Amino acid sequence: MKKRLLWLAAALLVSMMIAGSSVVAWGKSHGQPENPLARRVLQKSDLPEGSEAYYAEQLTADHFPGSPCPVNIPLQVEGFLDGYVAGGWYPLTLQDSALQGKLQRKQAGAYALSVVYQYRDELQAATALERQLEWFHKEGNIAVDANAEQAGYDESLAAANGVRGSAMQLTYSQEGLTWVSYWFFGVEGDTLMLLWVDGLPDPGTHEVFDILVATIVQR
């Protein structure tokens, strides 16, 4: 947490966009069937016009984004059979005009990352969920200038789609600005899903989080 999460996300998005494009192209050229987990993560169509650096690729125990990266915060999960990741830049209009003037880039927005992991059974997936949530409460994992607390999301919609989960909000300071990360962790059967949205502490950032949570729990 001592380094800029957005800087890490930007580097990750660019590198994995290139790698992901190669993986997709290779799979298509060899006639491989689509991984069903690919439909559970964010799609290019889930991002508005003007989004940047969208990527999607398969994850395995031997092929995982290296540390440090947002996927490893709070924990890089273990013991999964298969996984898939997708992410990109979600442009938005800040409702707090004062924040816009503090940005170096003209277009405001948030980085969004979604990951799904398939486990051997429901018990393993539920255990992985608890480990993710425990990270926020373990002393030393969060920087002293950061604050973690429960975040709201549409629990009734998630439950209606068979998803049990929890959401966290992490507020931190970096480079003279305050930033916020929203995390959603959910389990549906043998599948663990994670969503990470990081941006400025503006209502628009939370709206993006709400939109994307609703999207992934209905997949």
Residue 211 belongs to domain with CATH number = 3.40.1000
pLDDT computed for residue 68 by the predictor: 40
End-to-end CA distance of the chain: 31
Distance set, CA 205 to CA 58, 130, 209 (Å): 27, 26, 6
Q: How far apart are alpha carbons 5 and 186 in whole angstroms?
A: 22
SS3 content of the chain, % helix, strand, coil (to 5): 35, 30, 35
Residue 27: its pLDDT value, please?
45
DSSP H or E run through 194? strand 191-199
pLDDT value of residue 31: 52
Based on the structure, what is the number of domains in the chain?
1
Query: CA-CA distance, 217 to 211, in Å (whole number)?
Result: 10
- Residues 115-152 have pLDDT tens digits of 999 999 999 999 999 988 888 777 666 777 788 889 99
Residue 30 has a pLDDT of: 47
* Domain encompassing residue 80: 5-217
Cross-strand pairs, 185: 166, 194
Which is nearest to 209 in space by CA: 175, 176, 170, 178? 170
User: Nearest to residue 105, comparing CAs of 217, 199, 205, 206?
Assistant: 199
The residue whose two tokens read 């395995």 is 60
Alpha carbons 48 and 123: distance in angstroms, whole number: 36
Residues of the chain short of pLDDT 70, as ranges, are 1-33, 61-76, 97, 100-107, 139-141
